[in-house]
Amino acid sequence: MGILSTIGRTLRQIAIVVGYLLLVGVIVLTILFAHRSEREHRQSQPVTSFNITVEGTQRYTLIDEISMQAWIREHGIAPEECSLAELNLSQLESVVLEHSAVASANAYTSYDGAVVMNIAQREPLMRLRTTSHNQYVDKNGYVFSATNGYAAYVPVVTGDYRPLFDGEFSGSIAEYVGDSIASTHRLIDAIEHEKYDIYRTKKRAQDDLKRVRDSVIRAPFWLSDATVQSMENALKQYQEEYQIRYTQEEQKRDKMIEKHEAEQQKLYEKIARLEKRYHDFNSLITFVEWLSEDEFWAGEITQIVIGEGGDGHIQLQVVPRSGDFVIDIGALESIEHKFESLEKFYSTVLSNVGWQTYNHVSVRYDGQVVCRKSPNVASEAE
């Protein structure tokens, strides 16, 4: 009985293992069959529709389904003319992301052949309309070109301000600056390696000079005094001539080092200028973002005019929607205090004397509001 019981348990265990193996086999075959069926379906299933949804257009519409459909066709992709197998979703997403106003893109297909593309639009914070520039900037410092036919009603930046990027640039300013600084540091390092080579040459030349200076005549005893004296005179002349050549070559090497150091200094100054301009640009973004978050000033300020002062810092003027005056802000500092003074001026002065009284208002100096009356106002400027 014991043997039969053991055999029974063993057979049951074998049956369980076989059952599991059969179940796994059925699952694998089902998956393979489904995969094959899906592949065959994709090979034969044409794209039945192509729909684009653009998110982030609640406030601004820079792109829409029609413009993105046209953009995709311009890049040689026609989803409606493909089967599901022929359509490369990664390529489709890459083409859409090439549009600078697109923040993200995600495409997927359905079993019945529908293709759906979800696009997130960038949200502009301001628009640069300076010389050779017509670009939007978002709050993260991403620059993208202004598209034809669409416009966002955001503060417009004008004036003789020159951003640190050209009018064709599109991308992250932080990455642009980081790459530029890294590239400049590589140039500095390359020059430093050239200096190392010169310093090594200087060291070898100094060692050679020392050996020549320390050279002495060790003449055999059988040579005459006159012969030894002649040899010593020749050595002395050689040492003097070698010293002259060494001095000339050393001066050349020193000039080369000075030249390299001057080149490095210029590159360091370039980095400093780039960092300063990047700081100024970030300050501008912070200022416009502050404006956009203030319910009153977001609707009141329509244009920002930027110039550079004598100290190299950017100077601002803003053009309000109300009145015919320009507001001089000055440097980007103490902004909240300056606008507090300006808000008091709006409520206590302009509301009484009228919006056409002044053509220039300055809050350049913290706590002060200085005005200049319009020429058609009879009384003296206040």
**43 pLDDT higher than 70:** no
Residues contacting residue 375 through CB under 8 Å, at least 6 positions apart = 359
pLDDT at res. 163: 86
> Nearest CA to 49 among 104, 115, 99?
115
Q: Residue with structure tokens 């606008």?
A: 339
% of the chain at pLDDT higher than 90: 40
pLDDT at res. 28: 65
CB 134 within 8 A of CB 70: no
pLDDT at res. 323: 79
> Nearest CA to 374 among 300, 324, 328?
324
The residue among 41 and 14 whose pLDDT is bigger is: 14
% of the chain at pLDDT higher than 70: 88
Mean pLDDT calculated for residue range 151-165? 87
The phi and psi torsions of 260 (rounded to 5 degrees) equal: -65, -40
Secondary element (H or E) of residue 172: strand 171-172
Which tens digits make up the pLDDT trace of 241-288? 999 999 999 999 999 999 999 999 999 999 999 999 999 999 999 999
The phi and psi torsions of 221 (rounded to 5 degrees) equal: -65, -20
pLDDT at res. 37: 47
pLDDT at res. 26: 65
pTM value is: 0.75
The residue among 352 and 30 whose pLDDT is bigger is: 352
Mean model confidence pLDDT for the chain: 85
> Nearest CA to 83 among 111, 24, 43, 130?
43
Which tens digits make up the pLDDT trace of 331-348? 888 899 999 999 999 888
Mean pLDDT calculated for residue range 67-83? 87
Place 38 in a pLDDT band, splitting at 50, 70 and 90. very low
Specify which residues 159 forms β-bridges with: 306
Q: Residue with structure tokens 């939007």?
A: 136
Which tens digits make up the pLDDT trace of 217-236? 887 878 888 888 888 889 89
